[in-house]
Amino acid sequence: MNTAGYLRRLGLPHLLNAPTSAESLRALHVAHVEKVSYEALEIWLGRPTTVDPVESAERIIRGRGGYCYHLNGAFSELVRALGYDVTRHVGGVQNRGGEPGITANHLVLTARGLPSESNPGGEWLVDLGLGDALHEPLPLVAGTYQQGPFQYVLRPSEIAPGGWRFDHDPSGSFKGMDFGLTPTNMSAFINMHEHLTTAPTSGFVRTATVQRRDATGVDVLRGLVLSRIGNGARSVTLDTARDYYAALADVFLLPLDDVSAEEKDKLWRKLHDAHEAWLVGDPA
């Protein structure tokens, strides 16, 4: 993996040979969620992806993002290359109205050996793949945590013995997430990745979603509806392709330099058709 290139993408080239620390992990996490959007546009562009962390990292270095398998997978490779003790775990995001479960629809990371004043034990929940959730790592200690306008709860999981439960803020896009502490490798997510990127019932397939977190809130683009949660709250429908691609570039730092004009035109037509169907209540 091009570790130096990845750090340049995050604006943190000086961390290439820096000692590991809780402060540097936080800087890496914050830079990642602020500069690398949570997005699944490759699905709508008809470009299959894998869960291979190096492939994901290369795409991120080229200016794109991804969803949990891509973002957390690539980040785990980056920080391991920098000397951090990071472990991958199988998790399960619980959508609103759904039941909790360790479904492998989410990849979770934990880090250890990084004590700080606020977390003497030195264990952290590291998660760049929850879209509108974490802005920085959470101490792996039960409690209530405030990050910007959002309040989170971390507590023992009721369904994963010895594991953890993350309760999202009530304004968030999902209810919560459970994970066990057993280490895993990326092969654990291959089948669910196939489902999430191809199944007609998948939320990624049904709605083109892009999210980018910052210190005061989160910007969300679902289909053609651009919303802001937190400071500067707003909601607007993007009526033209020009507005849509300008929002991707300006709000989400996604100029899509790797997408041709023909691909953009095709993507816009798909998005527009899906939006029109949504307006009239067509479940397709």
DSSP annotation of 188: G
The pLDDT assigned to 148 comes to 95
Nearest to 71 by CA among 22, 31, 98, 19: 31
Written as six digits, the tokens of 95 are 């959508």
DSSP string, 50-98: ---HHHHHHHHHTT--B-HHHHHHHHHHHHHHTT-EEEEEEEEEE-TTS
DSSP string, 141-154: SSEEEEETTEEEEE
The β-bridge relationship of strands 124-126 and 106-112 is antiparallel
- What average pLDDT does the chain have? 96
Please say whether the beta carbons of 207 and 227 come within 8 A.
Answer: no
| CA distance to 46, 112, 276, per residue, from 270 (Å) | 11, 44, 10
The pLDDT assigned to 282 comes to 61
The pLDDT tens digits for 201-213 are: 999 999 999 999 9
Tokens 């369904």 found at: 159
Summarize the confidence of residues 57-77 as an average pLDDT: 98
Separation between Cα atoms, residue 45 and residue 224, nearest integer Å:
16
Q: State the alpha helices, DSSP H only, in 215-260.
A: 241-250
Summarize the confidence of residues 188-197 as an average pLDDT: 98
Separation between Cα atoms, residue 254 and residue 40, nearest integer Å:
12
The pLDDT tens digits for 251-270 are: 999 999 999 999 999 999 99
Summarize the confidence of residues 66-92 as an average pLDDT: 98
The pLDDT assigned to 283 comes to 53
The pLDDT assigned to 278 comes to 86
Instruction: Sketch the domain layout of the chain as residue ranges.
Output: 199-279
Share of the chain above pLDDT 70, in %: 99
The pLDDT tens digits for 21-55 are: 999 999 999 999 999 999 999 999 999 999 999 99
CB burial of residue 257 (10 Å; 0-12, 13-18, 19+): exposed
Residue 280: which pLDDT band, with cuts at 50, 70 and 90?
A: confident
pTM of the predicted structure, to 2 decimals: 0.96
The pLDDT tens digits for 146-163 are: 999 999 999 999 999 999
Separation between Cα atoms, residue 77 and residue 5, nearest integer Å:
13
The β-bridge relationship of strands 225-230 and 138-139 is unpaired
The pLDDT tens digits for 82-107 are: 999 999 999 999 999 999 999 999 99
CATH no., domain 199-279: 3.30.2140.10
> What sign results for the dihedral spanned by CA atoms 169, 170, 175, 178?
positive
Tokens 């400071």 found at: 231
Written as six digits, the tokens of 251 are 């709000």
Q: Which residues contact 221 (CB under 8 A, 6 or more apart)?
A: 208, 209, 210, 211, 227, 238, 247, 248, 251, 252
